[in-house]
Structure formats: structure tokens, C-alpha cells
Structure 1
């Protein structure tokens, strides 16, 4: 195990197994020096810990909880990267993160939710975790997930 996986353990996290595909796709594709990670849901042991839209109203997933779930998505994305590159120390940069937030129509805090993923990439990869990003509100996500994160990573040979 390398320095990145040591850092993950120091953060008190465990890199999960790769989430199996829920449809006709693969979790990650290595294309030259880029890894394209399919959208990752906040699945933990095959289950969604929360479902439903994000918002400020009673009965919705809170923005704070959704940010925690975005971090779970990010950790699942790191596992997907490892599945195709083997050694996470090969990651030179997290290039682009796209986050989708199932949002109540009045909710506009999508960037704060996706900060959960962005912050985790920074903690895991340091300066190499700083990335370009989009945070998008959507009506619904697969399985009723409140958040989904996809990633593009640059790796060295």
C-alpha cells in the first residue's frame, strides 16, 4: 500500500470495494493517462443510507447530511480509480468533478453539498485533489439517491 492509502487510513476511512454497476456500464475506464469514473452513488455495503431530495424543508435530506453523502460518493470514486490503476499513488490530479444533487425546487445550495466530495478529494490527494467542478441540481437520481458524483482523474504511467 502506498502513501495515498496510508492517508485514507489516517483519515479514519476504509476504501470500500468497488460498487458493482447498477446498469449497462463499467465503474471506471482507463483511457491513456485519464480515468473516467462513472457516477457514484453514496452506497455503503450496497445500500443507500438516505434517499430523497435535498432541501431545507422538514422531511428532506438536509444539506449537511447530503454533503456527508457526497463524501461517500467520492470515496466510492476513489475505489473505482484504484480498480483500474492498482496504485493510488499514480494519481497526479483530480481533474474534474461533476456532482448531481436531487434537489427540492427551492433548494439552491448544490455547491455546498458537493463540497463534501471536493473536500474529501483534497484531504486524500492534497494539492493533486484540487479540481474543476460542476454542481448541478436535478429532479431525481437513480434509486432515489440524494447525490451522485462522477470524476475524471489524471494518472502517471
Structure 2
């Protein structure tokens, strides 16, 4: 099944890729690999949640934010290569979770991203992963996720 058809069945419409918030490019391509800059959980260029997971943001909200990061990542991929069906494999996902002191479920937060990729891309969405706690993130975001993607 085509990726965009699957996304539509899931009720997802990819947003336009937002302009970078700093001096970088959203996607860097070398050969058949795409290195995606960190994606934030934004809609209409605004964060959907702000603050530390475990105090300001619930686990469930953080999982939703992780999912939104992946929707934004797919939008960045589409803007770069034009066709999501050119994705061969999500190679690696690296998740940074803005964590309150004592919050130790970064891996569970990041499941929101991993589960979405598996649902949207099937076998192509299975990946290696890192999920780490950080004390702060840009704009007060609760999560930032970057990826390495192999394409045709």
C-alpha cells in the first residue's frame, strides 16, 4: 500500500514543512541516506505542548507529541524527495525527552514515535533507537526527534 494512502486511512494529512528555527537545513542527503534535523511537535508552526515530561506534560501527551514529531518528519522527507514510497527503511531514531527530575520513562515516550512509524510504514518503519533525557529543549518543547532514513 502506498504510504500516503495509508496515512489518509489513519486520518493524517501531512503539513507543509515549516521553516527552520535556526541556521540549519531540515534534511541533509548523502547518497541514499537522509539525515533529518530534530523535529519538534508543532502544528501550524506552534508547539502543541511545552515543558518537562513528568511535571508539565503527561506521559500520554508526550507520546502524542512524539507521534507528531514523526508526522512532521515525514513531511520533511516528502518535501525533500517528493514521494514517501521511496523510503526503503527508517534506519535510526534518536529521541530527546525534556524530562522532569526523576522521570525515567523516556523509552515509553518514544514509543509514540516508533509505534507510529510501524503503523504508517510497516516493516520499513522498524528501526534502531536511542531515547535520552535532557534538562531543556528549544522553545520549551517536551521532545525533539531526529532520524536517519534510507531511500531509493
- Give the alignment's TM-score, normalised by structure 1: 0.94
Q: Tell me the number of residue pairs that the alignment of Structure 1 and Structure 2 aligns.
A: 152
Q: Name the residue aligned to 1:24.
A: 23
SS in 1 for 2:46: coil
Unaligned runs of 5+ in 2: none
Q: Name the residue aligned to 2:2.
A: 3
Q: Aligned partners of 2:49, 2:72: CA distance in 1, in Å?
A: 16
Cα deviation code 1:19-68 (max 9, x no counterpart): 2100000111121100110000001001111100001x4xx200111000
| 1:64 lines up with 2:72 in the alignment | no
| Structure 1 residues 1-157: aligned runs within 5 Å | 3-55=2-54, 57=55, 60-156=56-152
Q: Aligned partners of 1:133, 1:19: CA distance in 2, in Å?
A: 25
CA RMSD of aligned residues (A): 0.9
Unaligned runs of 5+ in 1: none
- The runs of at least 4 aligned residues of structure 1 exceeding 4 Å deviation read none
